[in-house]
A and B are shown apart, each in its own frame.
Chain A
Amino acid sequence: DAKTTQPPSMDCAEGRAANLPCNHSTISGNEYVYWYRQIHSQGPQYIIHGLKNNETNEMASLIITEDRKSSTLILPHATLRDTAVYYCIVKPSAGANSKLTFGKGITLSVRP
């Protein structure tokens, strides 16, 4: 049972920022927010994760609201290769259980 809700799809223009929203209103204090993406015919690719602070890496930025009930993945300069299904997942940190439960994700289409 996925604990997140995402819009089914969105699109953005190449070169512009893509802001992908995710709601996780029942998130617990020890749960991290993870983002993965799956490009057609490939396995899921890890993007970023965070607990409560905003995070940035070479791929994207993750903005988590102060109440932690929602987050936004930002791809600062989307390219055609960023077209993929993006999954927002919450996962507890307690114990050494890395079990991820995938929802339906959001399909991002980057248009030329």
Chain B
Amino acid sequence: SAVISQKPSRDICQRGTSLTIQCQVDSQVTMMFWYRQQPGQSLTLIATANQGSEATYESGFVIDKFPISRPNLTFSTLTVSNLSPEDSSIYLCSVEDLDRGTSYNSPLHFGNGTRLTVT
């Protein structure tokens, strides 16, 4: 399975600032996915990031708040802008695990996430 490295693993940020989270994969992948997990909750998909095109955002998430970059097939960043305490969550990057299936049924492989606390 692909090895996913997320940086930072955790951070404490002040209200009104921004945090950029990096996701590095050790192999080339077509699609990368960004999820959010609020305290005590399940995971919610923020957006899908394809290399060479604009990210596709899920309902309730907008580019101005969560800009995403995907400069190549092994790297992506998620920025959480204008932070408020409600943004305190774990943010997770994931990619398809093509070793365990085809592009139509491959499972996702997740990093360990970035734990963000906004004060």
A residues sitting closer than 8 Å to B (CB atoms) are 32, 34, 36, 41-46, 49, 51, 87, 93-105
Contact = CB atoms under 8 A, between A and B. Distances in A.
Contact of A98 (B31, B43, B110): B31
Given A102-B42, A104-B42, A43 B100 contact: no
* Main SS at interface, chain A: loop
Contacts of B97: 46
B105 A96 contact: no
Contacts of A101: 45
A34 B43 CA distance: 15
A96 to B, nearest CB: 5
B27 interface: no
B104 A42 contact: no
**Those 7 A-B pairs whose CB atoms lie nearest each other, nearest first:** A43-B110, A46-B107, A102-B43, A93-B104, A102-B42, A96-B103, A43-B112
Size range of the chain B interface in the assembly: 20 to 34
Contact of A49 (B31, B103, B107, B112): B107
Nearest to A30: B104
A103 B44 CA distance: 9
B43 A96 contact: no
Contacts of B96: 98
A34 B107 CA distance: 8
B104 A49 contact: no
A93 B42 contact: no
Given A43-B111, A43-B113, A46-B97, A98 B33 contact: yes
Contacts of B105: 32, 49, 51, 93
Contact of A99 (B33, B100, B111, B112): B33
